[in-house]
Amino acid sequence: MLDTRAIRADFPILQRKENGRRLVYLDNAATSQKPQRVIDALVHYYGHHNANVHRGAYALAVEATDAYEAARTTVARFVNAWAREGVVFTRGTTESINLVAGSWGRTNVRRGDTVVVTAMDHHSNIVPWQILCQEKGATLRMVEITTDGRIDLADFGRALESKPKIVAFPYVSNSLGTVNPAAQLAKLAHAAGAVTVVDGAQSSPHLRVDVQALDCDFYALSGHKMLAPMGSGALIAKPALLDAMPPYHGGGEMIERVWDDHSSWNKIPHKFEGGTPNVEAAVGLAAAIGYLERLGMDKVAEHEQELARIAIERLSQVEGVTVYGPRDHRAGVVPFTYGEIHPHDLATILDKDGVCIRAGHHCTQPLMRRLGVAATARASFYIYNDVDDIDALVNAVRKAGELFGVLAS
Amino acid sequence: MSPPSPDLGELYQQVILDHNRNPRNFKRFDSANHKAEGNNPLCGDRIQLFVQLDGETISDIGFQMPQGSGCAISKASASLMTDAVKGKTTAAAESMFQAFRDMLAGGANAPGKLAAFSGVRAFPSRIKCANLAWHALHAALRNSAEPVTTETAKDF
């Protein structure tokens, strides 16, 4: 396990008290907290190096550009990208997926084609494809999940029979915590001739990611779930695909030359970075990656998996609690319900003990329908969480049971 | 300084817990001449409301929350709302809604058992839950075809 005492000391927000108690932050699948090192990186950037990038002839602008491009190199190394030119900075996973749908998808998907997603995808890996399919007259095929919360490989195989143009899936489910066999899925999809899009929002913060080993085509990540600022993120792609794609946003920076009636495009990745980029976010993301790499991503994964295992064990001992998702191959996401207590009430009651969890559909309504629930409560762990936090969670859950006089369903 | 900590007992008063466990008028009747649906997309709460209006009087009312989609606050609020407006005129019901809304916005307590929701004031994230059934009633009385959602209704 990680040295959580030392790690917690690095996070100013974890020093705050909630109703006189220590803050127990268990909503990390929604967003992570930020260490002082990341906060300092933002302040330092604005205090010392701020200028617009890629255009100034003066030293300060060169420094800002260097900081921005160094961040790109850091992200490329972190996920073992094909090339640093294959790292496009975006506002996060949602924008990354919309970029692929809006550029590669609009160019290559035609009437009668199929796009495949899974029933455990986040809305951000469903809705952009729905919009694309509606525009093109294409079919969106949703792959079913098994009862224990994995992608149904038999149904995945059936979906591939339609020779889809695009196959999109999450590496790690934000709602169930399932770690999907991404490399295997990508291989199957490629054999069927599809381009693969991996939603890496929940894998990048928690696992060692190697996109070349996964051999997907596009990989989307969000910085804010991995210690970095909100509005930071990236699309990692095979450079040849990016080269062949039309721009997504038109504007400054993404052009080579502009004539009265047409333009030519800058080289990748700048072709996809129209407008002044969020340099601060990129710098913060690089600082966050530095922090995670110092801990070691294998240790981070091991720590969270151990916490999830203990949380599942302890929650399952509470009569009336149902934990969702697979028993193994899962990350530090633990969704549960408790008898007839609505998750929204659970979240309010837990908040009184300073325990922050998410309650709701977690932006996965198709999944909730399949689970047969309107909502779940979800505890999700990160590097600063400890067994103490699980104790606080379980104690607060038991209190909720007493208040509601549970009522095991 | 953080504000003084609100008490869970103030939020989950006995009458609320009771109505959550045994909701009154928890029935659907498709013969109702006024119906509406209310959604809270943020937490997935959904309510279907059935209102029988005879002239200006609410002669019968029932609600359903599909698939266990109601939290204790929204379900108890729907239950107490239906009890409160049954047999009343539409004008009286609308004025109760106004009093309820005013209470949640920090005003005086609403009359009768509706005052049990005064504790919701200290939990801003739960005000939408308490208001959901009332907005659905408001829509049903106007026979609004569009489902009302907590994100589009005014004064939520």
Mean pLDDT by 10 residues, chain A (409 residues): 96 90 95 98 97 90 96 98 98 98 98 98 98 98 96 98 98 97 98 98 98 98 98 98 97 94 96 96 98 98 97 96 91 95 94 94 92 93 98 96 72
Per the annotation, the verdict on A363 as an active-site residue is: yes
Residues of A in contact with B42 (CB under 8 A): 360
Select from A265, A293, A321 the last residue of a domain: A293
CA A391 to chain B, closest CA, distance in angstroms equals 20
CA distances to A165, A311, B19, B102 from B22, rounded to whole Å, are: 52, 32, 5, 27
Residue B3 within a domain? no
Range of the domain at B64: 9-148
Among the partner residues A17, A340, A374, nearest to B69 by beta-carbon distance: A374
Determine the average pLDDT of the residues in B99-112. 93
Residue A98 within a domain? yes
Residue B36 within a domain? yes
Rounded Cα distance between A387 and A381, Å, is 10
**DSSP-derived secondary structure letter, B112:** G
Are A361 and A240 in a shared domain?
Answer: no
- B68 interfacial to chain A (CB closer than 8 Å): yes
Select from A263, A293, A323 the last residue of a domain: A293
Candidates A135, A134, A145, A133; CA nearest to A170 is A145
Range of the domain at A241: 39-293
Q: Is A160 exposed, middle or buried (0-12, 13-18, 19+ CB in 10 A)?
A: buried
Residue B153: per-residue pLDDT? 52
* Alpha carbon of residue B102 to chain centroid: 14
Rounded Cα distance between A167 and A262, Å, is 33
Are A82 and A169 in a shared domain?
Answer: yes
Residue type, A340: E
Residue A405: per-residue pLDDT? 82
Among the partner residues B8, B69, B75, nearest to A352 by beta-carbon distance: B8
Determine the average pLDDT of the residues in B28-53. 88
Residue A80 within a domain? yes
CB spacing of B43 vs A368 below 8 angstroms: no
Sign of the C-alpha dihedral, residues A233, A239, A245, A246?
positive
- CATH number of the domain at B15, please: 3.90.1010.10
- CATH number of the domain at A377, please: 3.90.1150.10
Residue A121: per-residue pLDDT? 98
Best of A345, A362, A367, A397 to substitute, by most chain B Cβ atoms within 10 angstroms, is A345
Are A189 and A314 in a shared domain?
Answer: no
Are A315 and A233 in a shared domain?
Answer: no
Are A285 and A322 in a shared domain?
Answer: no
Q: Strand A24-25 and strand A355-356: pairing?
A: parallel
Residue A12 within a domain? no
Select from A242, A273, A293 the last residue of a domain: A293
Chain B residue closest to A21 (CA)? Answer: B5
Q: How does residue B7 score in pLDDT terms, banded at 50, 70 and 90?
A: confident
Sign of the C-alpha dihedral, residues B79, A359, A170, A83?
positive
Residue A25: per-residue pLDDT? 97
Q: How does residue B135 score in pLDDT terms, banded at 50, 70 and 90?
A: very high
**SS3 category, A127:** helix
Residue B76: per-residue pLDDT? 96
* Whole-prediction pTM: 0.93
Residues of B in contact with A373 (CB under 8 A): 67-68
Are A60 and A208 in a shared domain?
Answer: yes
pLDDT at residue B92 is higher than 90: yes
- CATH number of the domain at A116, please: 3.40.640.10
Residue A347: per-residue pLDDT? 95
Residue B145 CB coordination number (10 Å): 9
Q: Residue holding tokens 């924008």?
A: A95
**SS3 category, B106:** coil
Residue A54 within a domain? yes
Rounded Cα distance between B9 and B48, Å, is 28
Are A264 and A336 in a shared domain?
Answer: no
Are A213 and A358 in a shared domain?
Answer: no
Best of B71, B77, B123 to substitute, by most chain A Cβ atoms within 10 angstroms, is B71
Residue A44: per-residue pLDDT? 98
- Per the CB < 8 A criterion, the answer to whether B35 and B140 are in contact is yes
Torsion region of A14: left, alpha or beta (phi above 0 gives left; psi -120 to 50 gives alpha) = alpha
Residue A38 in tokens? 């990341």
Are A312 and A246 in a shared domain?
Answer: no
Number of domains into which chain B is organized: 1
- Per the CB < 8 A criterion, the answer to whether A56 and A409 are in contact is no
Are A117 and A188 in a shared domain?
Answer: yes
Among the partner residues B2, B43, B129, nearest to A375 by beta-carbon distance: B43
Residue B2 within a domain? no
Q: How does residue B41 score in pLDDT terms, banded at 50, 70 and 90?
A: confident
CB spacing of A342 vs B70 below 8 angstroms: yes
Residue B145: per-residue pLDDT? 55
Residues of B in contact with A349 (CB under 8 A): 8
Residue B50 within a domain? yes
DSSP string, A94-151: HHHHHHHIIIIIHHH--TT-EEEEETT--GGGTHHHHHHHHHHT-EEEEEPB-TTSSB
* Alpha carbon of residue A27 to chain centroid: 13
- Per the CB < 8 A criterion, the answer to whether A96 and A221 are in contact is yes
Sign of the C-alpha dihedral, residues B131, B132, B133, B136?
positive
